[in-house]
Amino acid sequence: MTAVQPAIGPQTSATTQPFDVERIRADFPILELRVGGRPLVYLDNAASSQMPRPVIDRLLRYQTSEHANIHRAVHFLSEAATTAYEGARAKLRRFINAREEREVILTSGTTEGINLVMHGWGRKFISAGDEIILTVLEHHSNIVPWQMLAAEKGATIRVVPIDDAGELRVDAYEALFNERTRFVALGHVSNALGTVNPVRQMIEFAHARGVAVLVDGAQAAPHMAVDVQALDCDFYAFSGHKMCGPTGIGVLYGRAALLEQMQPFKGGGDMIHTVSFEGTTYNTIPHKFEAGTPPIAAAIGLGAAVDYLSVVGLPAIAAHEHDLLRNATEQLGALPGVRIIGSARDKAAVLSFVVQGIHPHDVGTLLNQEGVAVRTGHHCAQPLMKRLGVAATSRASFAFYNTHAEVDALVAGIRSVQKVFS
Amino acid sequence: MTADTRALYQEVILDHNRKPRNYGVLDHASHHAEGLNPLCGDHIDVALAMAGDRVEAIAFHGESCAICKASASMMTMAVKGKRRDDAQALAREFVDMACGRLDVKDAQHIGRLAVFSGISELPMRVKCAILPWHTLQAAFNAVATTSTEADDDPMHAPMGDA
């Protein structure tokens, strides 16, 4: 059979040379779009990022020459698809530095990964009176599954507060631990404020008390090198579509020893060893957690996306995004009537703000007229909005293909919004 | 700015946003409902004082964008003094116009509210404009809380969510 080619060949413009944002932008066809007659300024990357040509090409190649169902038949295409799918798992293992490929479960996204841990681990090991620690920064997807579990089991949710800068109160976190604490679920990076949490330190504290930790890495994986061994987390969940990959695919890393103990989340084909009406035995990990035909193309596309990110280089990505964030923070901070929400010392490329007297929805609609795409609303973090005393914010979130000229366009756009309302 | 948006954020709407009419609470409300838009967390509260089948007084308050607040403000002006049937007919017509189901030229009762006709070109914002009317209907029907996501509501506008 033909070998599966690496997604990034010499034809790609992404290099490990000094950061050249224009060459990178040339890899992203969608960035050539015009919106309402103006160049698209895409600053909604925390919601979903755009896809570079090598990933699009990889999807096309899979669909035109490699597609069949995986782990099934002995024919050529099934073998090609299986090799490419498992090849993607291998790339993802390297990307997060997991020990073994069987610790990398392919999911539909972060939400499914968290729900998998809730059902597979939580429903087996959490019981009445147990306590689960979350933080007020969490996205709804890392709150609601635990509330469902707590309601089912009679467990209690404890919430780590933040200070006014939007940083977790680590002292308060440590004070929440007691003999009933069983689990911690916390975000690596806040989707609403960009706060980078001291997860390594928090995991160490939990482990010293025998408590397992899940990290929601949806906002971290696209922006910084993630090393699950260095973090020493028990679970780490993230999504493909926020890191230049397709929608409908994500990863749940789990420590093998924990995954072995867990019950399956979904029943069906591929997750079994043998099935009979007298009893069914389950497949080994990771397949035990991958019932049914997975999104094969999306998984292979995500493999190509992490290849792409690795060639550009996560350190270079983080450095460029920090430059953009610093510039945007300075410029927005100097605009009269604009208040930045979240001033943590360590932030990823997210800038939440409110414009005095103008609702974020109106800001978003009017910015759209300037070609500038931002997210407005509660960012699926209603408890956080309540804590901050705002109903909603506008959020600009940057990717490595954004430019300083686009920061200028955002600033000019906000000025023109203010002019409409003046 | 495109024509649609310029037409929407025109002075009359901005003025009602700055100085909303009938803003506040009613001391002796006979009907009341709260409307929620889960897309953005916006909420408005509409209270009515009915004298027989006539709207004697109406007030609203809450947290919302300019489109929603101006729609609510102009709604209170349009509805005050009307008979319930006429107010509800206007509400249906407004929602049909906002959802693009009724051309403003064919509207019977819409009057000055025609300034909102451009909203149908901004599908993500339609809910903002219709929330007050939705809430008005809920108040008439003695439904304490409504939502732009209420599937059983005849005014439900299928739209993208957060």
Nearest to A118 by CA among A151, A73, A78, A158: A151
Give the distance from residue B3's alpha carbon to the nearest chain A alpha carbon, in angstroms.
10
Residue B139 lies in domain: 3-143
Bridge partners, B33 (sequence order): B46
Q: With 90 as the cut, is the pLDDT of residue A13 above it?
A: no
Is residue A10 helix, strand or coil? coil
| Rounded Cα gap, residues A39 and A175, in angstroms | 50
Nearest to A352 by CA among A398, A387, A315: A398
Quickly tell me which residue has 């035109």 as its tokens. Answer: A64
Q: Does CATH place domain A64-310 in 3.20.20.70?
A: no
Under the banding of pLDDT at 50, 70 and 90, the label for residue B8 is confident
Question: How far, CA to CA in Å, does A217 sit from each of A12, A224, B39?
Answer: 28, 10, 24
Q: With 70 as the cut, is the pLDDT of residue B161 above it?
A: no
| Rounded Cα gap, residues A47 and A142, in angstroms | 16
Task: Give domain status of residue B157, yes or no.
Answer: no
Question: How far, CA to CA in Å, does A177 sit from each of A117, A131, A300, A408, B111?
Answer: 21, 9, 41, 46, 62
Q: Does A421 touch chain B (CB under 8 A)?
A: yes
Give the distance from residue B27's alpha carbon to the nearest chain A alpha carbon, in angstroms.
27
* Among the partner residues B1, B5, B40, nearest to A361 by beta-carbon distance: B40
| Rounded Cα gap, residues A19 and A340, in angstroms | 28
Mutate to test the interface with A, among B61, B65, B148 (most CBs of A within 10 A): B65
CA A135 from chain centre, in angstroms, equals 17
Task: Say which range, A68-77, A132-141, A220-229, B49-58, has the weakest mean pLDDT.
Answer: A68-77
Hey, are the CB atoms on A36 and B9 less than 8 Å from each other? no
Q: How many CB pairs under 8 A join A and B?
A: 53
* Among the partner residues B2, B39, B65, nearest to A369 by beta-carbon distance: B2
Helices (H), A133-198: 144-153, 170-176
- Average pLDDT score over residue span A266-277: 88
* Among the partner residues A365, A380, A420, nearest to B125 by beta-carbon distance: A365
Q: Answer yes or no: are the C-beta atoms of A13 and A23 closer than 8 Å.
A: yes
Q: Does CATH place domain A21-45+314-421 in 3.90.1150.10?
A: yes
Which residues of chain A have a CB within 8 Å of the CB of B64?
Answer: 359
Under the banding of pLDDT at 50, 70 and 90, the label for residue A17 is low
Indicate the number of domains in chain B: 1
pLDDT in tens, A90-101: 999 999 999 999
Give the distance from residue B53's alpha carbon to the nearest chain A alpha carbon, in angstroms.
35
* Among the partner residues B17, B40, B124, nearest to A392 by beta-carbon distance: B40
Task: Give domain status of residue B150, yes or no.
Answer: no
Helices (H), A154-264: 170-176, 199-207, 228-231, 256-261
pLDDT of residue B7: 67
Give the distance from residue B127's alpha carbon to the nearest chain A alpha carbon, in angstroms.
11
pLDDT of residue B155: 45
Is residue A17 helix, strand or coil? coil
Task: Give domain status of residue B155, yes or no.
Answer: no
| Rounded Cα gap, residues B93 and B95, in angstroms | 5
Phi, psi (degrees; rounded to nearest 5) at B139: -65, -45
**Residues found in chain A:** 422
pLDDT of residue A10: 40
Task: Give domain status of residue B148, yes or no.
Answer: no
Under the banding of pLDDT at 50, 70 and 90, the label for residue B39 is confident
CATH for B68: 3.90.1010.10
Question: How far, CA to CA in Å, does A377 sit from each of A308, A394, B65?
Answer: 31, 7, 11
Hey, are the CB atoms on A366 and B5 less than 8 Å from each other? yes
Mutate to test the interface with B, among A362, A378, A379, A388 (most CBs of B within 10 A): A362
Specify the DSSP element, H or E, that contains A274. strand A272-276
- Residue in B closest to A359 by C-alpha: B65
pLDDT of residue B142: 81
Burial class of A132 by CB neighbour count within 10 A (0 to 12, 13 to 18, 19+) = buried
Q: Which residues contact A331 (CB under 8 A, 6 or more apart)?
A: A407, A408, A411
pLDDT in tens, A329-364: 999 999 999 999 999 999 999 999 999 999 999 999
Tell me the domain boundaries of chain A. Answer: 21-45+314-421, 64-310
Mutate to test the interface with A, among B9, B14, B130 (most CBs of A within 10 A): B9
Interface of B with A in 56-115 (CB under 8 A): 63-67
pLDDT in tens, A371-415: 999 999 888 898 999 999 988 899 999 999 999 999 999 999 999
pLDDT of residue B160: 34
What strands lie across the sheet with A181-187, from one edge to the other?
Answer: A104-107, A250-254, A235-239, A212-216, A181-187, A131-135, A156-160
Task: Give domain status of residue B95, yes or no.
Answer: yes
